[in-house]
């Protein structure tokens, strides 16, 4: 007997989806036949036929065509400036410069377009590996398929943590809670039941139910209104940094170039020629390729990360990951193997129960006819032969919910009897038992004993066959989830690299203590009773960091936490200035993943967790995360090295031409203002003289060549050989400005000195004349300066890429090859110049320029090393770092090591275990002292509260004065 879609079951009334019977067709097909799907679902053949008719369940992409993207490369602030320069050259009919600038425009556009496509393809490939899946019933079999293959009429299973893959009409079953925030902006989940329509793009928060797909792809509510509900793209932290750097350089460029333009026009220079020179100087000085180089570097890094089983959903997340200094990690599957091993020890707490009965009851509390949903279900269902369970019929099932920590099934036996079974956390199942007072002490003692050995407990119960139908506590299944073999060493590496690791787990406190002890993480495990209650939907206090920061920072982990506590812990750490990462896998982890600076969805995460995360792991374990951080720091260093280099080049070009235009006058052979006279001009009445400019400048073609060779080859810095930092990375812009300015000014000084020598080459006592290079024509002086500036720019790359001496780390092969290529091309052009405006120089002069540049390269490198040494010893520079200083981290790391050493000694003493409290309860012994009276309990609570207030006051005072 087929079950009709709820959409059609309401007669003439409107359904929840708002579609009336007047709208009886879906893309020309009658809905009554289309959505009339039975419990066995569609057949594979019918699903294939419908897929051909209705198309895949995908939204039409609004991606711009490659040709549109190419056209956009030629429109914007920088392209417009180049177009302006091209127009000026056309007006003045300077065709060589016209075609050179046109070539520059085309080359910039094509290179930028290619790199953008390459980066876009990298992101698309990563996102394609995260294709959403759907649980569908076809041919009577539950199976997992690509959500894009869903068709109208498919019968799907919607369970907690899964994204609704298409518009679906809910079938008969228990109500579920649906999060529609992505569609409607509502903060609270909506409860839906039979007959309601769940929209594509929403997420199941709680419950499980079957549904029939009523619309797919562009015909869904989401597909029809995507343009209205799409969120505004937020500017990332990395983009803000690039904008600040670009605006800084543009401000300097416009001021200096504008001053030059005014000076030239004031002194009678042709307006169009002055404009052409200044526009090209702007083009050469402003970092046109900065966005392209940084994006290419991150795109290449994202592919590297994917090879390491780390998928980055947004390229900008790489920059944030490199600065992460605190990781809140869940225990199961990340710190441990997530491969439970069923133990022989199975305590029984009912006189007639057997081991076999406990295992069968646990299996009945799972959906044994479907693929297991988690590791525990897998272990339970693999523990017995499932064929005898065919005599039972599951009437209802409540899947695992983190808020209640148990599953429950209603079962009909072969004799027609109906009973309920449940499995879950021992303290939860124990509270249900009809004889809780009789067995509580024994159960808690056994659970605690198991927990001390790191063994997890899963309680099993069923309702009684008697008239009252109360819950009967049958027994406890025991599992062991041992730590991963590499976790302990990975945590040590994390600490060595400036990353704190806190364990956040829903397991019992004693298990958390034992796991942390084995991993060397310390044993200060707190419970949620030390934290305030947190409602994700409500706004959080801005004083959480000051109120609870000391408590959270001092803890090595938290036990028995709920998802809202994860959210709260992350917020506290972020308010304290930590760059916080959070791992998670469930739908209820989504708020914490979204709140964290770096949300990390671990392997096997739900759709909701993946959607909220910045990074998705495709391999379990903490080592994957640490490897990703190491790679991200390498990527960050490459980008920072490029930014340092690019600022230095901008300063070199701008300051050199600014000073040379104002102070050097080739037509008078004088270095005015500072040096009023540089020898007598060698001209006499019997010698012919060449026409020279009243101020020094390079031809447009020379500046264009410098721009092409620099920006074209520097993309190879994405492949440079770098060593990851041992501390979290930050954009210390003042330090970058100091270093790059120093590099640039040293290069400016060397260029001005060489220009002075060049203009003084006619002086028989000049430096160039001393080396046999005197009597240089002015066109050769310009060529000499072109070669010098080109070589200085390329050599600055090797200075900017290290904090120490340049030879302390070999460059990447591709970067070295690109630099060699560019310098060789520049040298050959200088020697065999085929065009006008400049004149080729001799090989001897080219060799002299090379030696001169290398000598200044060493001076530049030594100047940088000295500056870096000084900056590292100036405490005032620390104000530009993130709030978490290295001193603070070192202090807390020392405290952590002390706790570990004390814990490793004291944990061996039973007296310590009996006297220690975790999450407000003794680590050993009963959870509640039976002999304690109410008055004694109240007195202890009052004293504990007073002690906590005193400790908090001491911590706050210490943190306020910096005396930690």
3-state SS string for 53-98: HHCCCCCCCCCCCHHHHHHHCCCCHHHHHHHHHHHHHHHCCCHHHH
Residue 436 burial (10 A CB sphere; 0-12, 13-18, 19+): middle
Q: In angstroms, what CA-CA distances link 698 with 209, 287, 303, 839, 840? A: 74, 19, 41, 12, 14
Assign a CATH topology to domain 236-298+631-880: Calcium-transporting ATPase, transmembrane domain (1.20.1110)
- Residue of 722 and 507 predicted with greater confidence: 722
Residue-wise pLDDT tens digits, 223-269: 765 544 343 345 567 777 877 887 888 888 888 888 888 888 888 87
Whether residue 334 is predicted with pLDDT greater than 50 in this model: the reply is yes
**Helix residue ranges per DSSP H, 499-621:** 509-519, 544-554, 563-575, 590-595, 607-612
Distance, in Å, from the CA atom of 579 to the CA atom of 582, rounded to the nearest integer, reads: 10
Residue-wise pLDDT tens digits, 803-834: 889 888 889 889 899 889 999 999 999 999 88
Q: Residue 42 gets which letter from DSSP?
A: B
Q: Where does the pLDDT of residue 474 fall: very low under 50, low under 70, confident under 90, or very high at 90 and above?
A: very high
CATH top class, domain 341-480: alpha beta
Q: Where does the pLDDT of residue 127 fall: very low under 50, low under 70, confident under 90, or very high at 90 and above?
A: low
SS3 content of the chain, % helix, strand, coil (to 5): 50, 15, 35
User: What are the structure tokens assigned to 624, written together?
Assistant: 């994957």
* CB count in 10 Å sphere of residue 493: 17
User: What are the structure tokens assigned to 742, written together?
Assistant: 């120093």
Q: Where does the pLDDT of residue 352 fall: very low under 50, low under 70, confident under 90, or very high at 90 and above?
A: confident
Q: Where does the pLDDT of residue 961 fall: very low under 50, low under 70, confident under 90, or very high at 90 and above?
A: very low
Average pLDDT, the chain: 77
Radius of gyration of the chain (CA): 36
What is this structure's pTM?
A: 0.68
Q: Is the dihedral of CA 46, 51, 53, 58 positive or negative?
A: positive
Distance, in Å, from the CA atom of 644 to the CA atom of 830, rounded to the nearest integer, reads: 27
* CB count in 10 Å sphere of residue 930: 7
The pLDDT, as a whole number, for residue 423 is 92
Whether residue 709 is predicted with pLDDT greater than 60 in this model: the reply is yes
| Residues facing residue 203 across a β-bridge | 163, 179
Cα 504-508-510 angle, rounded to 5 deg: 100
Distance, in Å, from the CA atom of 597 to the CA atom of 607, rounded to the nearest integer, reads: 19
753: nearest Cα among 768, 772, 769 = 768
Q: In angstroms, what CA-CA distances link 165 with 51, 57, 134, 229, 619? A: 15, 8, 6, 17, 25
Residue-wise pLDDT tens digits, 627-656: 899 999 999 999 899 889 989 988 998 889
User: What are the structure tokens assigned to 567, written together?
Assistant: 């959210």
Whether residue 584 is predicted with pLDDT greater than 70 in this model: the reply is yes
Distance, in Å, from the CA atom of 606 to the CA atom of 130, rounded to the nearest integer, reads: 11
User: What are the structure tokens assigned to 207, written together?
Assistant: 């419950």
Q: In angstroms, what CA-CA distances link 651 with 242, 291, 396, 775? A: 17, 19, 73, 30
Q: Residue 29 gets which letter from DSSP?
A: E
Whether residue 901 is predicted with pLDDT greater than 50 in this model: the reply is no
Residue-wise pLDDT tens digits, 650-692: 899 888 988 888 888 776 654 333 333 333 444 434 343 455 6
How many Å separate Cα 418 from the centre of its chain? 50
Whether residue 292 is predicted with pLDDT greater than 80 in this model: the reply is no
**Buried b vs exposed e over 536-557: b needs ≥16 C-beta within 10 Å?**
beeebeeebbeebbbbbbbbbb
511: nearest Cα among 447, 460, 439, 586 = 447
Q: Are 621 and 334 in contact (CB under 8 A)?
A: yes
How many Å separate Cα 83 from the centre of its chain? 38
Whether residue 21 is predicted with pLDDT greater than 60 in this model: the reply is no
624: nearest Cα among 311, 875, 202 = 311
Q: Where does the pLDDT of residue 382 fall: very low under 50, low under 70, confident under 90, or very high at 90 and above?
A: confident
Residue-wise pLDDT tens digits, 188-231: 578 898 888 888 878 888 888 999 998 888 788 777 655 443 43
Residues 6+ apart with CB under 8 A from 455: 343, 345, 478, 479, 480, 511
Distance, in Å, from the CA atom of 126 to the CA atom of 279, rounded to the nearest integer, reads: 40
Percent of the chain surpassing pLDDT 70: 78
The pLDDT, as a whole number, for residue 753 is 94
Q: Are 624 and 309 in contact (CB under 8 A)?
A: yes
| Residues facing residue 191 across a β-bridge | 177
- The residue extents of the domains of the chain are 1-232, 236-298+631-880, 341-480, 934-964
The pLDDT, as a whole number, for residue 100 is 74
**Helix residue ranges per DSSP H, 267-366:** 271-285, 290-307, 317-322, 355-364
Distance, in Å, from the CA atom of 957 to the CA atom of 964, rounded to the nearest integer, reads: 9
CATH top class, domain 1-232: mainly beta
Q: Are 168 and 196 in contact (CB under 8 A)?
A: no
3-state SS string for 809-823: CCCCHHHHHHHHHHH
Q: Is 711 helix (H, G, I), strand (E, B) or coil?
A: helix
User: Quick one: average pLDDT of 906-931?
Assistant: 36
Q: Where does the pLDDT of residue 944 fall: very low under 50, low under 70, confident under 90, or very high at 90 and above?
A: low
Q: At what angle do helices 622-663 and 778-800 cross, to 10 degrees?
A: 160
User: Quick one: average pLDDT of 43-65?
Assistant: 81
The pLDDT, as a whole number, for residue 845 is 94
Active site residues: 330
- Residue of 642 and 710 predicted with greater confidence: 642
Cα 366-370-375 angle, rounded to 5 deg: 60
Cα 261-263-269 angle, rounded to 5 deg: 75
Place of tokens 């990395």: 238
**Buried b vs exposed e over 252-275: b needs ≥16 C-beta within 10 Å?**
bbeebbeebbeebeeeebeeebbb
The pLDDT, as a whole number, for residue 464 is 83
Strands of 400-499, DSSP E: 406-412, 418-424, 455-463, 471-480
Q: In angstroms, what CA-CA distances link 427 with 255, 283, 365, 405, 446? A: 71, 70, 17, 10, 12
Whether residue 355 is predicted with pLDDT greater than 80 in this model: the reply is yes
419: nearest Cα among 475, 371, 462 = 462
């Amino acid at each position: 007997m087929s079950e009709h879609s709820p959409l059609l079951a309401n007669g003439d009334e409107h359904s929840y989806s708002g579609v009336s019977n007047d709208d009886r067709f879906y893309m020309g097909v009658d809905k009554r036949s289309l959505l009339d799907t039975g419990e066995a679902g569609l057949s594979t053949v019918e699903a294939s036929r419908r897929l051909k008719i209705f198309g895949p369940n995908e939204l039409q992409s609004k991606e711009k065509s490659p040709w549109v993207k190419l056209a956009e490369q030629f429109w914007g602030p920088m392209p417009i400036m180049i177009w302006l320069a091209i127009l000026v050259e056309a007006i003045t009919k300077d065709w060589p410069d016209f075609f050179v600038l046109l070539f520059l425009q085309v080359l910039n556009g094509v290179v930028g377009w290619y790199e953008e496509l390459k980066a876009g393809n990298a992101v698309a490939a990563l996102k394609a590996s995260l294709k959403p899946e759907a649980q569908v019933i076809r041919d009577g079999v539950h199976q997992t398929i690509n959500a894009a293959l869903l068709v109208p009429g498919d019968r799907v299973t919607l369970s907690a943590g899964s994204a609704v893959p298409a518009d679906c009409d809910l079938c008969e079953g228990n109500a579920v809670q649906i999060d529609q925030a992505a569609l409607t902006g509502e903060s609270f989940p909506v409860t839906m039941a039979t007959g309601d329509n769940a929209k594509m793009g929403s997420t199941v928060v709680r419950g499980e139910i079957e549904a029939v797909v009523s619309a797919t792809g562009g015909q869904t509510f989401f597909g029809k209104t995507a343009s209205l509900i799409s969120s505004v793209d937020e500017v990332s932290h990395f983009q803000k940094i690039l904008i600040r750097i670009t605006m800084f350089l543009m401000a300097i460029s416009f001021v200096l170039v504008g001053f030059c333009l005014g000076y030239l026009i004031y002194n009678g220079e042709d307006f169009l020629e002055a404009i052409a020179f200044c526009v090209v100087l702007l083009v050469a000085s402003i970092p046109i390729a900065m966005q392209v180089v940084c994006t290419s570097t991150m795109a290449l890094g994202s592919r590297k990360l994917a090879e390491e089983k780390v998928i980055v959903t947004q390229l900008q997340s790489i920059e944030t990951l490199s600065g992460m200094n605190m990781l809140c990690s869940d225990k199961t599957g990340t710190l441990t193997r997530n491969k439970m091993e069923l133990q022989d020890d199975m305590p029984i707490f009912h006189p007639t129960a057997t081991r076999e009965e406990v295992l069968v009851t646990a299996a009945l509390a799972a959906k044994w006819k479907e693929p297991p949903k988690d590791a525990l279900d897998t272990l339970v269902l693999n523990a017995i032969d499932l064929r005898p369970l065919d005599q039972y019929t599951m009437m209802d099932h409540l899947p695992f919910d983190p808020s209640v920590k148990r599953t429950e099934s209603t079962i009909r036996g072969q004799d027609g009897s109906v009973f309920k079974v449940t499995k879950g956390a021992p303290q939860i199942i124990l509270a249900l038992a009809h004889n809780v007072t009789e067995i509580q002490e024994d159960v808690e003692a056994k659970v605690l004993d198991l927990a001390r050995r790191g063994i997890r407990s899963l309680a099993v119960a069923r309702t009684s066959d008697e008239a009252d139908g109360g819950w009967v506590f049958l027994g406890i299944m025991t599992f062991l989830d041992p730590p991963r073999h590499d976790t302990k060493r990975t945590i040590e590496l994390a600490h060595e690299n400036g990353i704190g690791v806190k364990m956040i787990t829903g397991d019992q406190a004693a298990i958390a203590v034992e796991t942390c002890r084995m991993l060397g993480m310390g044993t200060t495990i707190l419970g949620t009773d030390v934290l305030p209650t947190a409602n994700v939907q409500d706004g959080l206090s801005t004083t959480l960091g000051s109120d609870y920061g000391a408590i959270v920072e001092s803890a090595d982990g938290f036990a028995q936490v709920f998802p809202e506590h994860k959210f709260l812990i992350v917020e506290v750490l972020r308010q304290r200035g930590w760059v916080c990462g959070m791992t998670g896998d469930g739908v209820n982890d989504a708020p914490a993943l979204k709140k964290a600076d770096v949300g990390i969805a671990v392997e096997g995460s739900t759709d909701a967790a993946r959607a909220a995360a910045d990074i998705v792991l495709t391999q379990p374990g903490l080592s994957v995360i640490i490897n990703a951080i190491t790679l991200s720091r390498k990527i960050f260093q490459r980008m920072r090295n490029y930014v340092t280099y690019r600022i230095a080049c901008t300063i070199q070009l701008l300051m050199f031409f600014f000073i040379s235009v104002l102070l050097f006058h080739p037509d008078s052979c004088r270095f005015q203002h500072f040096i009023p006279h540089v020898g007598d001009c060698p001209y006499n009445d019997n010698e012919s003289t060449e026409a020279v400019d009243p101020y020094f400048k390079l031809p447009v073609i020379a500046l264009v060549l410098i721009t092409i060779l620099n920006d074209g080859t520097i993309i190879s810095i994405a492949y440079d050989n770098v060593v990851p930092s041992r501390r979290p990375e930050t954009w210390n812009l003042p330090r970058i400005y100091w270093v790059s300015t120093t590099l640039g000014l040293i290069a400016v000084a060397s260029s001005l000195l060489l220009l002075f020598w060049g203009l003084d080459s006619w002086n028989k006592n000049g430096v160039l004349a001393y080396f046999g290079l005197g009597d240089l024509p002015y066109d050769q002086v310009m060529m000499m300066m072109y070669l010098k500036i080109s070589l200085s720019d390329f050599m600055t790359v090797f200075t900017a890429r290290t904090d120490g001496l340049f030879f302390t780390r070999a460059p990447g092969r591709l970067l070295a090859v690109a630099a060699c290529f560019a310098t060789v091309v520049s040298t050959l052009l200088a020697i065999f110049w085929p065009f006008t405006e400049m004149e080729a120089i001799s090989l001897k002069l080219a060799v002299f320029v090379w030696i001169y540049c290398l000598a200044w390269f060493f001076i530049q490198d030594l100047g940088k090393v000295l500056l870096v040494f000084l900056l590292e010893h100036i405490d005032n520079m620390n104000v530009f770092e993130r709030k978490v200083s290295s001193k603070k981290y070192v202090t807390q790391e020392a405290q952590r090591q002390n706790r570990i050493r004390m814990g490793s000694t004291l944990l061996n003493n039973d007296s310590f275990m009996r006297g220690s409290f975790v999450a407000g309860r003794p680590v050993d012994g009963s959870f509640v002292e039976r002999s304690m009276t109410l008055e004694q309990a109240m007195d202890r609570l009052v004293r504990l509260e007073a002690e906590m207030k005193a400790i908090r006051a001491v911590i706050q005072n210490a943190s306020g004065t910096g005396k930690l």
